[in-house]
Amino acid sequence: MMNVATAENQNQTNAELRQRLDEVNQALHREQQARIAAEKMFRDCQAFYHSLAESLPVRVFRKDLEGRFTYVNEKFCQMLGHSREHVLGATDYDFAPPHLAEKFLADDRMVMEKDEVFQCIEEHNPDEAGRKTFLLTAKAPLCDGDGILAGLQGVIMDISDLKRAEEKSEQLHRQLMLASRQAGMAEVATGVLHNVGNVLNSVNVSANLIAERIHRSKVASLEKLAAMLRENEVDWAVFAANDPRGKQLPAYLITLSGHLAQERDELLKELQGLRKNVDHVKEIVAMQQNYAKLAGVCESVKLYELLEDAIQLNAGALTRHRVHIVREYEDVPEILVDRHKVLQIFINLISNAKYACEDSDQAEKRLTVRIRRKNQQMADIEFSDNGLGIAAGNLTRIFSHGFTTRKNGHGFGLHSAATAAVEMGGSIRVHSDGIGHGATFIVELPCRSCGPGGNIRE
């Protein structure tokens, strides 16, 4: 009985051993399959890496800790002029002069010690066409599967075409800047001619008035009186007492004195306006010479005084074109602006309104100028005329450089005015209901004042 039981136990033990052996074999088989799959994956990854490295338009290389090449793509071999078999296992000392090989080795040490990517651009010998060549080299640390540093890998890219394109771009940029500067100078010159021309119209009117009044002057009567006195200087008492002309002499002198005094006042007034216009011409030239600077000289001014100056400078032309000025001024605090830029804006807009009224069929030509406080930050100055008006399609183009609807216009006045307003932190906008309905130009300027120490504050 004991032998039977022992045999059964032995059989059970053998069955368990066979089962465990089968399990071990299955585990070994799975491990072998996993290893085969891993090896295949590794080969696939390696093949993919090699395929990618060979297809990229760059030179790819890897080095071990001793600086020996462990992988290079074909483009890298072509750069060195050696086969892959000759390059693998070699170092930079085998292909480059000692000073360059030492530099490459120093760069490699820095990459591996600091564990960071390294990039540099180097200029190399000219190519076959005699042009400079530039190479961009990038290196990065290379670690094994356990994260242990195993060397480095890198790429070398020929960026000669890019550098030449950059140089060409810089050259084109310089040419564009020069062209832009020349165009700006031409615009400034045209602006000077346009703005000075507006003032010279008033100068011409004043000069003509002075010439006409001198031509009609009573000075000629004074010359006649002097001739008459010379004729009777021998017996002046008899002439004054008996000659009818002598009796009228005192009254005549009083009247002549009054006429001459009036003429003097009128001529002085015209000369004062003439001098003011000439001074403004100087100011325009000085302003235009400094037009491209970041900021002009700001000063605290009263808007209504600037507006009155602009009206006065256009007075001759406004009178000649029979344009009536209507003033509607609200009380606005002084603002800090470039006086001459604002004055030039006003002059341009008044001149523009004058021509618009001239071209219209209105019996009464009218320009209404308004000053009002828009809000705490901005003041509005409006120039509203009952002139020709602006077509809807031109409202968005009216401030464009060179755009004009006048036959002899050049399209610089409104453009330069809008530019000057923007430079001072303001703007110009326009409204018109169309041809025959006049137009309104609104200048917005910031309401700024001088703080302590001359600083600007809102």
- Which residue ranges make up each domain of the chain? 1-55, 57-158, 181-289, 299-457
Sheet holding 69-72, edge to edge: 69-72, 59-64, 149-158, 133-143, 118-124
Which residue is associated with the tokens 């590794």? 42
Q: What is the dihedral of CA 10, 11, 16, 17, to 10 degrees?
A: 70
Neighbours of 430 (CB within 10 A): 19
C-alpha closest to that of 64 among 141, 145, 177: 141
What do you get for the CA distance between the two ends of the chain, in Å? 116
To the nearest whole number, what is the mean pLDDT of the chain? 78
Residue type, 404: T
Assigned CATH topology for domain 299-457: Heat Shock Protein 90 (3.30.565)
Residue type, 345: I
C-alpha closest to that of 372 among 450, 444, 457, 449: 444
Backbone angles phi, psi at 409, to 5 degrees: -80, 165
Cα–Cα distances (Å) from 334 to 106, 301, 303, 448, in that order, read: 69, 5, 7, 8
326 half-sphere exposure, CB direction, 13 A CA radius: 10
Comparison of pLDDT for 455 and 440, the residue scoring more = 440
Cα 54 to Cα 77: distance, rounded to the nearest angstrom: 11
Cα 443 to Cα 414: distance, rounded to the nearest angstrom: 12
C-alpha closest to that of 139 among 162, 113, 108: 108
Which residue is associated with the tokens 């084109």? 172
126-140, 164-178, 250-264, range with the lowest pLDDT: 250-264
Residue 32, pLDDT > 90, answer no
Cα 239 to Cα 154: distance, rounded to the nearest angstrom: 122
Residue 71, pLDDT > 80, answer yes
8 A C-beta contact, residue 445 and residue 337: yes
Q: Each residue of 301-341: pLDDT tens digit?
A: 889 888 998 887 777 678 878 899 999 999 888 888 888 78
Residue 6, pLDDT > 80, answer no
Cα 319 to Cα 317: distance, rounded to the nearest angstrom: 5
8 A C-beta contact, residue 287 and residue 296: yes
Residue 292, pLDDT > 50, answer no
Q: Each residue of 211-235: pLDDT tens digit?
A: 676 666 655 666 666 666 666 655 6
Contacts of 405 (CB under 8 A, 6+ apart): 390, 391, 394
Comparison of pLDDT for 277 and 56, the residue scoring more = 56
The band of 22, judged by pLDDT with boundaries at 50, 70 and 90, is confident
- Write the secondary structure of the chain as one string of H (helix), E (strand) and C (coil): CHHHHHHHHHHHHHHHHHHHHHHHHHHHHHHHHHHHHHHHHHHHHHHHHHHHHHHCCCEEEEEECCCCEEEECHHHHHHHCCCHHHHCCCCHHHCCCHHHHHHHHHHHHHHHHHCCCEEEEEEECCCCCCCCEEEEEEEEEEECCCCCEEEEEEEEEECHHHHHHHHHHHHHHHHHHHHHHHHHHHHHHHHHHHHHHHHHHHHHHHHHHHHHHHHCCCHHHHHHHHHHHHHCCCCHHHHHHHCHHHHHHHHHHHHHHHHHHHHHHHHHHHHHHHHHHHHHHHHHHHHHHCCCCCCCCCEEECHHHHHHHHHHHCHHHHHHCCEEEEEEECCCCCEEECHHHHHHHHHHHHHHHHHHHHCCCCCCEEEEEEEEECCCCEEEEEEEECCCCCCHHHCCCCCCCCCCCCCCCCCCHHHHHHHHHHHCCCEEEEECCCCCCCEEEEEEEECCEECHHHCEEC
pTM across the whole model: 0.41
Cα 45 to Cα 166: distance, rounded to the nearest angstrom: 37
Cα 54 to Cα 42: distance, rounded to the nearest angstrom: 18
**Structure token pair of residue 58:** 């760059």
Q: Each residue of 102-130: pLDDT tens digit?
A: 999 999 999 888 888 888 877 666 666 67
Residue 90, pLDDT > 70, answer yes
CA 245, 251, 253, 256 dihedral sign is negative
Residue 243, pLDDT > 80, answer no
The band of 47, judged by pLDDT with boundaries at 50, 70 and 90, is confident
Beta-bridge partners for 139:
118, 154
Assigned CATH topology for domain 57-158: Beta-Lactamase (3.30.450)
